Amino acid sequence: MNAGELAGYAAAFRRDGFVHVPGVLSAEELARYGEAVDEAVASRKAGDTRRLDEKSPYEQSFMQCQYIWEDFPAVRPLTFHPKIGELTAALLGANKVRLWHDQALYKEAGGRETEAHQDQPYWPIAEADTATVWIPFAATSDETGCMGYVPGSHKGEAEFIDIFGTPGDGKRLEERYADTPPVFVHCEPGDVIFHHGFTTHMAKANRSDRTRRVYTAIYFADGSHRGGERPHPSVDRDGIAIGDVIDGGATPVVWPLEGGRMPEPEPWPEMGMEWRERAERLGIIPRRAG
């Protein structure tokens, strides 16, 4: 990608809080990484035999598996993809970019909408230099659960929307932006979408008979600091204190990769994360060895 194209995408990201970038991944890459992420989701979710209607409303929006670059090495080249790293750095105006965490978000056939929310209130990061890349492994449309973004909403206030436990909470944001309807973005295979951590976004329900297979990774500008007490494994694993620079093994540098080498994951510490048992059982985070 040349400097002019990068600058154009960065300007759109700064203006709208999201940008659709076509043709980032080749058909071969999409097939290879799609298979790797499918395998990760199947393995992590193997113990979860619940039907869609037996799951919580949040879980009906998608199957969620985080930090899969760590226990599924075949996913790693996608997480640390140089084209995506370079684009993210350009969008954030940063020389160096780190990973906050990655995740598969597989919206099952018949899966519920993803309610409107902003991401950054979920993360204890002080600065606002964050971007998520959303990578579908097949075309996405209104029927299969495409994403919608409220343009310019990243410049507004941040609000914690409880998509996890309060169904309907996203309506508060929809009401706030009643005069600025979301832009729903259809992707072709190989396209990706980036959104800013403060952008109000949502996804349509999956009315098709196929799972909507998506991988996302959240990146942030190197030099960002821990912004609050809200627990989060990306900082708690490395014992990052409030006000400290976030630079642990859980949040490795993505761009530029020194010598082109991808990082090795660090083991998870044995620490009191009370949600951990449940998150492991549900396949949300890597299982402890043994």
Ligand X SMILES: O=C(O)CCC(=O)C(=O)O
**Residue among 120 and 224 whose Cβ is closer to ligand X:** 120
Residue 199 CB, nearest approach to ligand X (Å): 9
Residue 194 CB, nearest approach to ligand X (Å): 10
Q: Own/partner pairs for 4-10, CB < 8 Å, 24+ apart?
A: 6/86, 6/87, 6/90, 7/90, 9/87, 9/90, 9/91, 9/194, 10/90, 10/91, 10/93
Residue 271 CB, nearest approach to ligand X (Å): 26
CA atoms of 128 and 223, how far apart (whole Å): 12
Residue 229 is classified by DSSP as S
Classified as helix, coil or strand, 79 is helix
**Residue among 34 and 95 whose Cβ is closer to ligand X:** 34
Is residue 260 classed exposed, middle or buried when 0-12, 13-18 and 19+ CB atoms within 10 A define those classes? exposed
Residue 270 CB, nearest approach to ligand X (Å): 30
Contacts of residue 240, Cβ cutoff 8 Å, sequence gap at least 6: 226, 246, 247, 248
Classified as helix, coil or strand, 53 is helix
Torsion of CA 110, 35, 45, 134, to 10 degrees: -60
**Residue among 148 and 263 whose Cβ is closer to ligand X:** 148
Q: What are phi and psi of 209, to 5 degrees?
A: -100, 15
Residue 57 CB, nearest approach to ligand X (Å): 13
**Residue among 140 and 251 whose Cβ is closer to ligand X:** 140
Residue 250 CB, nearest approach to ligand X (Å): 19
Residue 214 CB, nearest approach to ligand X (Å): 5
**Residue among 209 and 274 whose Cβ is closer to ligand X:** 209
Is residue 1 classed exposed, middle or buried when 0-12, 13-18 and 19+ CB atoms within 10 A define those classes? middle
**Residue among 61 and 251 whose Cβ is closer to ligand X:** 61
Residue 3 CB, nearest approach to ligand X (Å): 28
CA atoms of 85 and 103, how far apart (whole Å): 16
**Residue among 20 and 107 whose Cβ is closer to ligand X:** 107
With beta carbons less than 8 A apart as the criterion, state whether 218 and 132 touch: yes
With beta carbons less than 8 A apart as the criterion, state whether 76 and 102 touch: no
**Residue among 119 and 129 whose Cβ is closer to ligand X:** 119
Task: Catalog residues that contact ligand X under the rule CB under 6 A.
Answer: 62, 105, 107, 114, 119, 132, 134, 201, 203, 214, 216
